[in-house]
Amino acid sequence: MSMFLVLLGPPGAGKGTQARLLAQELKLLHVASGDLFRDAFRAETPLGLKAQEYIGQGELVPDEVTISMVAERLARSDCAEGVMLDGFPRTVEQAEALGRILAQRGACVALVAYIRVRTETLLLRLGGRSTCMSCQAVYHVLYNPPRRPGWCDACGGQLYQRPDDMPSAHRKRIKVYLNQTAPLVEYYQERRILATVDGEQDIEVVQRQLLELVGRAMRTQ
């Protein structure tokens, strides 16, 4: 049985942090649209360079580009058993496309876990975030520091501050989230697959609650 899960929430909510932990625990592939864009940018592909124009502005990359990139990723054989989606969908149009892509293979989204966090907290988290250049693991200078400052615990790669994590970009990204992504909470609520988690809690507590929700979704699927 395949398992398609979505982590939804504003920038800084902890989607990437939780997706990594859950993917390990559940042996599911973690697919993050932001990571795919950053990989493409580093490889200097036309897609990566185009996407960076939007990412640098704190805007969403247009739906058409994003949907085809994610559809291509989901078509690969390593996604057959399911994936933990992080950062996708971010618009209603993307959600509709995801539904169609999965329906074509007789699957559907089993659970959308919405990680709710207040804006003040988001700003503190985004301000202290660092990301691994190699494996894209995320850390926080206070809340989740690496063992060796500046270096990734997971792979030993160098940590950097994403350009879109500069303070000037935070509020813009949160505003874009509220306008374009927040409507997905209602969208998935109506489809009765949304569950909300209080993302203000410690990383381990959020993880435990998410695991419980996933377990419940698996039993009822």
Q: Is 219 a catalytic residue?
A: no
Residue number with the shortest CB distance to ligand AMP?
A: 34
Closest CA to 204 of 215, 192, 212: 212
To the nearest whole angstrom, how small is the minimum distance from the Cβ of residue 156 to ligand AMP?
Answer: 22
What does 33 interact with, of ligand AMP, ligand ADP, none (CB < 5 to 8 A by kind)? ligand AMP
Angle at 145 between CA 52 and CA 33, to 5 degrees: 30
Taking the C-alpha atoms of residue 52 and residue 68, their distance in angstroms, rounded to an integer, is 16
3-class DSSP state of 4: strand
Residues in the site for ligand AMP, rule: CB under 6 A? 11, 33-34, 37, 54-55, 59-61, 66, 87-88, 90, 94, 164, 173
To the nearest whole angstrom, how small is the minimum distance from the Cβ of residue 87 to ligand AMP?
Answer: 3
Complex with ligand ADP: residue 2 or 143, whichever CB lies closer? 143
What does 207 interact with, of ligand AMP, ligand ADP, none (CB < 5 to 8 A by kind)? none
Taking the C-alpha atoms of residue 2 and residue 87, their distance in angstroms, rounded to an integer, is 20
To the nearest whole angstrom, how small is the minimum distance from the Cβ of residue 167 to ligand ADP?
Answer: 14
To the nearest whole angstrom, how small is the minimum distance from the Cβ of residue 12 to ligand AMP?
Answer: 8
Closest CA to 8 of 199, 172, 207, 217: 199
Q: Is residue 12 a contact partner of residue 122, using CB atoms and an 8 Å limit?
A: yes
Residues in the site for ligand ADP, rule: CB under 6 A? 9, 11-17, 125, 128-129, 138-140, 143-144, 199, 202-203, 206
Q: Is 116 a catalytic residue?
A: no
Taking the C-alpha atoms of residue 189 and residue 162, their distance in angstroms, rounded to an integer, is 32
Complex with ligand AMP: residue 63 or 218, whichever CB lies closer? 63
Residue 83 Cα distances to 27, 132, 147, 179, 195, angstroms: 9, 22, 29, 26, 18
Active site residue ranges: 15, 90, 129, 162, 173
